[in-house]
Amino acid sequence: MEANDNIKVIKGIGEKTEKAFRKLGIETVQDLLEHFPRGYEEFNHPVPIAAVSEGMTTSIEASLTASPKVKKVRNLQIINVQVKDPSASISLTWFNMPFLQKTLRTGSRYIFRGKVIRKNGVLVMEQPGIYQWENYAKLIKVLQPSYPLTEGITNTTISKAVKQVLSELTMAKDYIPKKLAKEYGLLDRTKAMKEVHFPKDRSSMIKARERLVFDEFFLYSLALRKLKEKRQLVKSEYVMKEEGATGALIDALPYPLTKAQLRVWKEIRTDLQGEYVMNRLVQGDVGSGKTILAILALFLAVKNGYQASLMVPTEVLAKQHLKSLTELLSPFGVSVCLLVGSMTAKEKREAYQRIGNHEADIVVGTHALIQEKVEYDRLGLVVTDEQHRFGVKQREALMNKGGNPHVLVMSATPIPRTLAIILYGDLDISIVDELPARRLPIKNCVVDTNYRPNAYRFIEKQAALGRQAYVICPMVEESEEIEAENVLEYTERLREALPPGIKVEYLHGKMKPKEKNQVMERFADGGIQVLVSTTVVEVGVNVPNATVMMVENAERFGLAQLHQLRGRVGRGEHQSYCIFVCGSSSKEAWERLEILNKSNDGFFIAGEDLKLRGPGDIFGIRQSGDMDFKLGDIFTDARVLKEAAEAVKKLTDQEVDAIFEGNPYLEDRILHRTASTL
């Protein structure tokens, strides 16, 4: 069995299962191995029923007091049974498992394991696993992997397949030099891969995970080192002169620039006027005014006779930028052109012609900007917005369109400077650390699920004032594996709770790009009052009229991600509000959310996040999903990130070359920021 083999080489995986695996992004044996557990179940000795409480996932040993009852609700079959032990009794519920009527016998004792919730004022254990003592005893203290799933793929399916691969696949030679592995106390990679899937105990799992996280950060730092070597002190073909060109534009703005904006603009301008190519990251909190700095840079490039491009993550945002750039710059004789994937073939041909003939000064678009057919005329500046959504590879492709244009990267992800220097090692960093005085601070509150009716009434009042609202849920559809609010059901519930005149629509990542664009455009135009969505709205649209952000199951998101979501509101002249609904009774979850409640400062929140979550705290939510690391988290694993970057600095050029020569697919994979190879 080879790492690049199709997963059909694994016993038990036919065409139907292969198709289901593809939904999880798993096509090869290697993909399967890198489909890491999202958590682990630890089986403990059963507890008395009297000791269980809401929110616990636990085991009880109990007997049935009566035969199971089946109730039909729409397409759902609900099985309910009462069980007891010497201490108390509790109700158990299963969905669509009618066969339990025959297999569960009155008076017999079983071990039931599941999550305890409160329904109609009483405790209920939902969808518990059922065990006989002899089988359960073998599981006690063993960590059972719990994988991300999709329809047609069970946890057992993945578990069996991974076991077979681990027993039959010969792992490739480790690419981390032995001296570094010893210096940083790294576990052998083959052993780490086995232990992360099927750990002996918690300590083994933590060590295994740390090794694989180190690999991800190590390879990422290695890619940045290669990029930096390519770009270091490249002579600029596009030296620019200021000569008051941007002064007129700054004077024409309806508001003065902040001191932070002026300071960062000076850094950008100095780069553009210098003899070497600019590679700069502008990091600033949501609403700090980074966009106007990008516009000033684009304007300066155009005034020096060059073309410039602005690459953004979504078509809706590209169209919004087209509109605002045209309004602001057309009085100065600047022409702006759009290039996005949904344009017709004719529209694209016309755009290519305008770009190639230099009839368009600034080109705004999505990934369409880096297509082979696009030919620029003296592309002097490339600006990418929300850089973490693109990755290094795409940025490189756009740069290659213009020889060696200047590169300006804008990011609203508030990462502490120490980590930003590592993560954006190929870029110089500027920070806009001041908000414009005209911005009204967002009012926040952290509430439990009982507050929902009040929140709905508040959204209704805001809609009556002509405002709009977002409601964020962590899931698209209901899952037996996770208790969390989901977009599709929630939309129906909200439509029933709000007056018929309020238009409620949903948005999620599984929708086709065209559908997503249509929904976002209708929301941006005011045709939708309430948008129920997953975190797909985290970047990509500017709706100044949206004044409410309500986040369900806020405890399931990282603080950095919650802060990004909050940044979708507070963009207009009206007071904005953020409601974080916590579905957990855990003290730690409430303490975390309280940080957001107290502060709107993304950099403060990122710093507190780093302090709050120690390196061993790996069972919580990922804080920084933006970076696309499969296991590593830049906040939780900050120490490992620093060590991996330090290790890469210690490598000689010969050692770097040897790593890439021994792993021919490595460079391409890590430039896409995927996890490490075998």
At what angle are helices 259-273 and 290-303 packed, to 10 degrees? Answer: 30
What is the predicted pLDDT for the residue at 614?
Answer: 45
pTM, 2 dp: 0.68
Return d(Cα 521, Cα 528) in angstroms, integer. 9
- Helix and strand counts by DSSP (H, E) for the chain: 24, 21
Q: Please, are residues 432 and 283 in contact by the beta-carbon 8 Å criterion?
A: yes
What is the predicted pLDDT for the residue at 485?
Answer: 63
Amino acid at position 128, single letter: P
Buried b (16+ CB within 10 A) or exposed e, 28-47: bbbbbbbbbbebbeebeebe
Return d(Cα 436, Cα 440) in angstroms, integer. 9
CA 27 to chain centre: 22
pLDDT in tens, 558-606: 787 888 888 888 888 899 999 999 988 778 888 889 998 888 888 788 7
Helices assigned H by DSSP within 330-451: 345-356, 392-399, 417-423
pLDDT in tens, 464-494: 999 999 999 876 554 434 444 678 888 888 9
What is the predicted pLDDT for the residue at 433?
Answer: 82
Q: Please, are residues 50 and 87 in contact by the beta-carbon 8 Å criterion?
A: yes
The first and second tokens of residue 409, run together, are 């990267």
Buried b (16+ CB within 10 A) or exposed e, 148-187: bbeeebebebbbebbebbeeebeeeebbbbeebbeebebb
Of the candidates 146, 44, 48, the one whose C-alpha atom is nearest the C-alpha of residue 90 is 48
Under DSSP, is residue 31 helix (H, G, I), strand (E, B) or coil?
helix
Return d(Cα 636, Cα 640) in angstroms, integer. 9
Q: Please, are residues 464 and 511 in contact by the beta-carbon 8 Å criterion?
A: no
Residues of the chain with pLDDT under 50: 388-390, 478-484, 614-626, 671-678
User: Which are the contacts of 583, defined by CB distance < 8 A and separation ≥ 6?
Assistant: 448, 449, 483, 484, 485, 552, 553, 554, 555, 556
What is the predicted pLDDT for the residue at 372?
Answer: 67
Return d(Cα 345, Cα 595) in angstroms, integer. 49
Return d(Cα 344, Cα 340) in angstroms, integer. 9
DSSP structural state of residue 673: T
What is the predicted pLDDT for the residue at 264?
Answer: 95
Helices assigned H by DSSP within 400-540: 417-423, 452-464, 487-497, 513-524
